[in-house]
């Protein structure tokens, strides 16, 4: 009996030590200045700027979230990153908002995906780390498929000089068990100031809550408050994990039965911000919804990704680029400077 108790206590202590070590770095504060690398300081601009937003699913593709997950070799990630670079280059992007980027994660063989893309594209970079763990024991089984070390988040690529880079980590869902939140990624809002000619532009990159509507609404409220208090030229985008308020379908998606956007006010809150507009206007979206779906790349059935710009800009073009390299399609716009 005593031996059994000792074994139990030792096992419990060992589990506690493992959880503390493995989850180290899971949450590291709000409103922090993060890494910027400027290598391209001489980019000329005419009267237009091209912008892209893309959740690249850490260059894995469909299944990156762990469903039916199988590890892939390093060649796969290099090939996918090259394809991502080719898409960005083909649209001559001046500013790129990225979500789900690995900086030094075991699941993608330790490749700093942001640096890899920046080197190929000759662009400046701003890191937005939001998920750092010594070890992630997921997918739960088999153990050989565990993600292991995680260092990932979002990022902005820019042909223009980056002057500042602030990252805000949002509160994790209180509906999650406490031990789950120890390993759960932090959703974030990234604010970067880029210099275009003699003006500073505030560019906001966002990856918002996917599974808890109340959390997502609070995250949008926080973003809206920040945007309402700035006089800077604005570009706001990312993976908002919500559908437009006029979407004809907001639930019962094939393969994703738990995804539900009914009564979600996130898009409406963003649309009410004074001084900005969606680069895809509501009428164009409603006329042909299917043309603007961004998720999933295998079975597109909803729009989750957005780009908003200052209302004084003329939106010359908006496009959803249907490439299967990620589980999201990238969105792209060309805006005319006034």
Q: DSSP code of 143?
A: G
What does pTM read for this prediction? Answer: 0.94
> Measuring CA to CA, how many Å separate 291 from each of 314, 322, 331?
21, 10, 12
Closest CA to 210 of 236, 235, 234, 175: 175
- Cα(44)–Cα(292) distance, integer angstroms: 31
pLDDT at residue 21 is higher than 50: no
Look up the CATH number of the domain holding residue 121: 3.60.10.10
Convert the pLDDT of each residue in 205-219 to its tens digit. 999 999 999 999 999
Q: How far is CA 35 from the centre of its chain?
A: 17
d(CA 27, CA 154): 15
**Top-confidence residue, 59 or 46:** 59
Is residue 24 over pLDDT 50? yes
Peptide bond into 293 cis (omega under 30): no
Q: Which domain holds residue 209?
A: 2-336
- What are 147-187's pLDDT values in tens digits? 999 999 999 999 999 999 999 999 999 999 998 999 999 99
Could you tell me the CA-to-CA distances from 199 to 38, 162, 234, 235, 312 in Å, in that order? Answer: 17, 12, 11, 13, 15
Structural domain tally of the chain?
1
- E strand or H helix that includes residue 9: helix 2-22
Sequential DSSP letters for 75-90: HHHHHHHHHHHHHHHH
For residue 257, what are the contacts with CB-CB under 8 A and spacing of at least 6?
Answer: none
């Amino acid at each position: 009996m005593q031996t059994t108790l000792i074994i139990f206590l030792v096992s419990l202590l060992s589990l506690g030590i493992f959880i503390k070590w493995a989850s180290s770095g899971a949450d590291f504060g709000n409103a922090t200045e993060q890494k910027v690398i400027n290598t391209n300081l001489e980019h000329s601009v005419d009267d237009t700027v091209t912008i892209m937003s893309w959740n690249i699913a850490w260059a894995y593709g469909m299944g990156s979230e762990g469903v039916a997950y199988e590890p892939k070799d390093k060649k796969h990630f290099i090939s996918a990153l090259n394809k991502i670079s080719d898409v960005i280059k083909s649209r001559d992007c001046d500013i790129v908002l990225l979500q789900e980027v690995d900086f030094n994660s075991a699941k993608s063989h330790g490749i700093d995906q942001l640096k890899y893309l920046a080197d190929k594209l000759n662009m400046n970079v701003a890191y937005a780390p939001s998920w750092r763990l010594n070890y992630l024991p997921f997918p739960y089984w088999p153990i050989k498929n565990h993600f292991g070390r995680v260092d990932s988040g979002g990022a902005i690529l820019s042909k223009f000089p980056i002057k500042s880079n602030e990252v805000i980590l949002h509160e994790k869902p209180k509906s999650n068990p406490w031990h789950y939140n120890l390993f759960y990624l932090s959703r974030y809002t990234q604010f970067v100031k880029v210099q275009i000619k003699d003006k500073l532009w505030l560019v906001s990159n966002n990856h918002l809550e996917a599974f808890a509507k109340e959390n997502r609404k609070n995250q949008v409220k926080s973003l809206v408050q920040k945007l309402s208090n700035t006089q800077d030229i604005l570009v706001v985008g990312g993976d908002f994990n919500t559908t437009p308020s006029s979407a004809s379908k907001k639930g019962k998606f094939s393969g994703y039965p738990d995804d539900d956007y009914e009564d979600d006010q996130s898009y409406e809150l963003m649309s009410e911000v004074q001084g900005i507009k969606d680069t895809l206007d509501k009428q164009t979206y409603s006329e042909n919804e299917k043309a603007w779906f961004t998720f999933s790349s295998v079975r597109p059935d909803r729009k989750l990704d957005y780009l908003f710009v200052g209302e004084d800009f003329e939106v010359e073009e908006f496009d959803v680029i249907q490439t299967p390299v990620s589980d999201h399609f990238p969105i792209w716009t060309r805006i005319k400077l006034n």
